[in-house]
Amino acid sequence: MILISNKSECCGCGVCALSCPQNSITMSPDEEGFSYPVIDPNMCDNCALCKEVCGFQKEKLIDTDSEPPLVFAAKIHNESVRANSSSGGAFTALSDWILKKDGVVFGVELDETLTAVTTFTETPQGRDRFRGSKYIQSELRDSFNDIQSFLLSQRSVMFSGTPCQAEALQNYCKSIDTSKLYICDIVCYGTPPQQLFKEYLSFLERQENDKVIDYYFRYKNQGWHEHTEMQVYSSGKKDYKSGKSQVFKMFFNGNVCLRPSCHNCKYTSFNRNSDITIADFWGIQRTMPDFDDDKGVSLILVNSDKGSEWLTGISDTLKLRESNTKDCIQPSLRRPTSKSDRREQFWIDYKKKSFDYIARKYGGLGLKGRCRAFTRSFLKRIGLLGHIRRLVRRSGN
């Protein structure tokens, strides 16, 4: 059995391994740290179930002929919640509705080792660990089996994750009643491997001679439009200003370390298979300037009748403005993230050089990076940064 012939055909969800009745598939990391299925030929009986559950094996994943979704800009009324959310707090409102129904919420948290793990909670306190973007591929572990167990016991379940994970969950649960499963997918730019992130943390700890105990991929202290990454150290130090604190963000935004399938993403469409899609409502300052206060605005796409019921249930907790698919600037809803022409060299350097080297060359710590940071700061100070960004977006459309 040959499941994939090219790495761009695998998102690493692992549903093939979970579904294999012979347990002949294991997920194994490659030299870049991304996991792929490895089939034991001595155990495989060629039943092809792995192909049936694999979303990337389908010719058509998204129903592009369906009606476009309802589009909303949203801000949660609770300002404290919004301040601690990546954008407008939509995830908290959606998950609160599930928890009030005695339901279970599945999301991604950074555990005590700062590993991104998909897990579940039944409390608001546990849910708060799921807030905020995590720009690394999460480990699903036993989440799909746990979700099936909760659904079989007639509990309402919310799953939030990337669209490829959401598709994998739906395929895995096809044989059971999913009427109480509420799926919220996140508009995804791409996922770097956890291995690279862990090496970055080690790099920071060497630089500071201190341990990183918490990490924020989206810190809004300087505003939502100019969010940064922030590390919290055991000494109490918080760093979101130094060049080294933004190295991983530079890797991510530079498209040099994303999973190969992210550049071949099958889910870059407004027609989604989830009930609700959430993201940042980029472009709100242009289309609804009175709604933008630089504290975060969520984009909400309502994709199903169940999603409509869900949004209606939380409408009193949100400030909502109806919009359309043209006014939200989310490139990942239109096309896959382009692959950097430096990606191949990045991984060559990663394998052969030190982390300090790639931090300087690709992470903005060298002279070019410092010049770029100074130019960006200067353009922001004189009010031209936003204008230039809009021009770049228009030229890319």
Residue found by looking up tokens 């598709």 in the block:
167
pLDDT at 97 over 80: yes
CA distance 155 to 48: 31
Kindly state whether residue 231 falls inside one of the protein's structural domains.
Answer: yes
| Mean of pLDDT values over 60-76 | 78
| Residue of 98, 80, 97 whose CA lies nearest to 89 | 80
Domain shared by 203 and 351, yes or no: yes
190 versus 3: the higher-pLDDT residue is 190
What is the pLDDT, as a whole number, of residue 344? 97
Domain shared by 138 and 238, yes or no: no
Domain shared by 136 and 221, yes or no: no
CA distance 195 to 225: 28
Q: Grade residue 395 by pLDDT with cuts at 50, 70 and 90.
A: low
179 versus 2: the higher-pLDDT residue is 179
CA distance 177 to 180: 8
Give the range of the structural domain holding residue 103, as residue numbers without chain letter: 70-191+259-333
pLDDT at 391 over 80: no
Domain shared by 271 and 354, yes or no: no
| Residue of 386, 297, 252 whose CA lies nearest to 85 | 297
Cα dihedral sign, 235-241-243-244: positive
Kindly state whether residue 394 falls inside one of the protein's structural domains.
Answer: no
Planar angle of CA 138, 250, 292, nearest 5 degrees: 85
Domain shared by 28 and 111, yes or no: no
**Separation of first and last alpha carbons in the chain:** 41
- Angstrom CA distances, 318 to 278, 297, 308, 362, 369, stand at 14, 11, 14, 40, 40
What is the pLDDT, as a whole number, of residue 382? 46
The per-residue pLDDT for range 256-277, each reduced to its tens digit, is 999 999 999 989 999 898 999 9
CA distance 44 to 137: 28
What is the pLDDT, as a whole number, of residue 77? 98
The per-residue pLDDT for range 326-379, each reduced to its tens digit, is 999 899 999 999 999 999 999 999 999 999 999 999 999 865 655 665 565 545
What is the pLDDT, as a whole number, of residue 3? 87
What is the pLDDT, as a whole number, of residue 68? 75
Domain count, the chain: 3
Phi, psi of 221 (to 5 degrees): -60, -30
Domain shared by 140 and 237, yes or no: no
Domain shared by 178 and 237, yes or no: no
What is the pLDDT, as a whole number, of residue 393? 52
| Mean of pLDDT values over 174-192 | 97
Mean confidence (pLDDT) of the chain:
92
Q: Grade residue 133 by pLDDT with cuts at 50, 70 and 90.
A: very high
pLDDT at 311 over 50: yes
| Mean of pLDDT values over 52-61 | 77
What is the pLDDT, as a whole number, of residue 378? 47
Cβ atoms within 10 Å, residue 84: 16
Residues of the chain above pLDDT 70, percent:
90
Q: Grade residue 59 by pLDDT with cuts at 50, 70 and 90.
A: low
| Mean of pLDDT values over 203-230 | 96
- Angstrom CA distances, 98 to 92, 94, 110, 165, 248, stand at 10, 7, 22, 20, 33
Domain shared by 77 and 161, yes or no: yes
| Mean of pLDDT values over 221-229 | 93
60 versus 67: the higher-pLDDT residue is 67
Kindly state whether residue 29 falls inside one of the protein's structural domains.
Answer: yes
